[in-house]
Amino acid sequence: MSKRRWIQTIGGTGDPELGNARVAVTFVVVSLLILLAPHSLQAKSWKDELIGKITAVYVPTDRSMWDLENIKAGGTVLVMTQDGALGSLSTDARYYGSDIKDGKISTEGAPMGRNSSILKKGQRVVLTSVKIIDYQGSDVLRLFFLTADTFQRVEGGNTATRRYKGSLDYFFPGGYLAKADFAEIKKVINGIVVAESEYKDAGPATVSLGMSPEQVEGVLGKPSKVIELGAKKIFVYSDIKVTFMDGKVTDVQ
């Protein structure tokens, strides 16, 4: 291709000088776009970076496009560490998420129906995707999940095998996620779901006779109330009472 022909292709004219002028303008415009592009993308890049860190630790499953009940392969199996997350049938067009605020699950206002189920502590799930959204001044980290286990349901007189889907919406103060340390974000996530391998390694929360108050707190956390009766001490939790005598567990109720 001749030089003149190349100019005509770029400049769209048979006039070489006009073609050169247009090439120069095009070069300036492209240069400006290159210079400005990083700045325009920078405001959003932290979300992609954070999502990348999350999905590297909690790998989403490869879900079938044609069969929403089918988990094709892969994905980190997670375990619910609390009761209360709301699941909707995976085949439903709609679903209702669960809000996570101050480390607690809330499904207030979400309608419960025949196609809904409240997931229990120990329920196994896998992630299908992760999003970060701005909602009324808050940063919301949204983890979409699908139950790893299936459930038997009676539908139309027949027994069907189904999974449940939903989302965990972690609420943070506006602007927090852009600057937060990932270890802190992971700690918040693990307050509701944790990798199955970590859940197993942690083992069940067990209190044994002879334990010290410090050991009990390591298993159950801080008690809601402590009763001091001389050599006798009682730790009161929402569903359990632990009695110590001379600094050792003597009874659990």
**pLDDT tens figures, 115-126:** 888 898 889 999
Cα–Cα distance, 54 to 147 (Å, whole number): 19
Q: Is the pTM of this model over 0.85?
A: no
Q: Is the pLDDT of residue 195 over 90?
A: yes
Cα–Cα distance, 190 to 108 (Å, whole number): 22
Backbone torsions φ then ψ of 88, nearest 5 degrees: -115, 155
Cα–Cα distance, 184 to 65 (Å, whole number): 34
20-29, 115-124, 198-207: the lowest-pLDDT one: 20-29
The per-residue pLDDT for range 87-130, each reduced to its tens digit, is 988 888 887 889 999 899 988 777 777 788 889 888 999 998 99
Cα–Cα distance, 224 to 208 (Å, whole number): 20
End-to-end distance of the chain based on CA atoms, in angstroms?
Answer: 90
pLDDT at 12: 39
Q: Which carries the bigger pLDDT value, residue 153 or residue 228?
A: 228
Q: Are 86 and 119 in contact (CB under 8 A)?
A: yes
Q: Are 141 and 130 in contact (CB under 8 A)?
A: yes
Count of residues in the chain: 253
pLDDT band at 70 (very low <50, low <70, confident <90, very high): low
Mean pLDDT of 125-136: 93
pLDDT at 41: 46
pLDDT at 27: 57
